[in-house]
Amino acid sequence: MILVTGGAGFIGANFVLDWLAQSDEPVVNLDKLTYAGNLENLASLADDARHVFVKGDMGDKALVAGLLATHQPRAVINFAAESHVDRSIHGPEDFIQTNIVGTFGLLEAVKAHWMAMENGAKAAFRLLHVSTDEVYGSLGLGDAAFTETHRYEPNSPYSASKAASDHLVRAYHHTYGLPVLTTNCSNNYGPCHFPEKLIPLMIVNALAGKPLPVYGDGQQIRDWLYVKDHCSAIRRVLDAGKPGEVYNIGGWNEKPNIDIVHTVCALLDELRPKADAGSYSAQIAYVTDRPGHDRRYAIDASKIERDLGWKPAETFDTGIRKTVAWYLANPDWVANVQSGAYRAWTTRQYGGALGSQQEVAA
């Protein structure tokens, strides 16, 4: 048994689906179901007894302690986070509460459980904390990519809150001996991505005939990682990573944002051509840059390849084609996310009174 936090969100849900596609080891899935937590992501597990969903907050120490005592997981994987930079600029408090205070609550509950375990199970136990490359700050065009020893220089409330959570995880290893693993990933993309982020927003807006907003000059550079590659890397780190170590996970795909937008438009031109035969790229609209926008992120993923033998399976060309095709094939998911109907679905499926202590075999 493993316990996953944030397993109804974009990366967490993809991880749960991939895990159960490759293993019969059950998953307890704890998710608060904020705006981006969507149980429709996990609809294919509706009759699968290996998946137990619990609605609740990772920072609820009593809840987490009860789950640990009841299910005795061999590992906890922490995906739960507020993760959108723009939202953190306009409302940083949620990021402080979830990413810092919530992680502290989780660490306290896990530490107490781990310290009471018997020696064999205690030695095998792991807490894997999923973080971001944004904690490292911004790079110049000629700078070397982020390695695991790069100085932390977060520049947004989001990245600062994730940096704080990383430091807490590190401290609990060095102070208490808690067997932690930390991963810092680059920009993920793929199925079930909430359409506030760049790639799904471009797809959804393009199909709706809306402007495709691009910040500033569009030359901000990111490394792009297909979400299923990220999931495979996390499985590998959980299986073979050394406690206390940090592993950077990247796709070796540095690209300016404007190139990403043009690639999405070209794929839509091919896969869903407009009635007037025009290009979706005509909808691109440059908008005022956001405050403190980091110019470049780049991940050096050499360590995880050297030490654990992992490297991404997808190129950006193969991954982005799969992503666009998924959105074209799942218009109901997109419509429900945009309208908020997935929240009504959650109420129908699990009942409006579903509380933090209630478990449901999904």
Looking at domain 2-189+224-253+295-314+341-361, which CATH architecture does it have? Answer: 3-Layer(aba) Sandwich (3.40)
What confidence score (pLDDT) does residue 343 get? 54
Candidates 133, 166, 229, 300; catalytic one: 133
Supply φ then ψ for residue 67, to 5 degrees.
-65, -40
User: Is residue 217 annotated as part of the catalytic site, yes or no?
Assistant: no
Query: Does the active-site annotation cover 350?
Result: no
Residue 348, pLDDT score: 52
* Integer Cα distance of 42 and 35 in angstroms: 15
What's this model's pTM, rounded to 2 decimal places? 0.92
Q: What is the pLDDT of residue 339?
A: 76
Q: Kindly state the DSSP code that residue 124 receives in the 8-state scheme.
A: H
The tokens for 334 are 């997109």
For residue range 182-210, what is the model confidence (pLDDT) as tens digits? Answer: 999 999 999 999 888 899 999 999 999 99
For residue 117, how many other CB atoms are within 10 A of its CB? 14
Average pLDDT, the chain: 92
In the chain, helix, strand, coil percent, each to 5?
A: 50, 15, 35
Q: Which of 82, 136, 158, 189 is catalytic?
A: 158
- Two structure tokens written together for 207: 């199909």
Instruction: Kindly give the interhelix angle for 257-271 and 198-207, rounded to the nearest 10 degrees.
Output: 40
CA 231, CA 13: separation in Å to the nearest integer?
A: 10
| Residue 158 annotated in active site | yes
In contact, 99 and 161? CB cutoff 8 Å: yes
The low-confidence residues of the chain, meaning pLDDT below 70, are 340-362
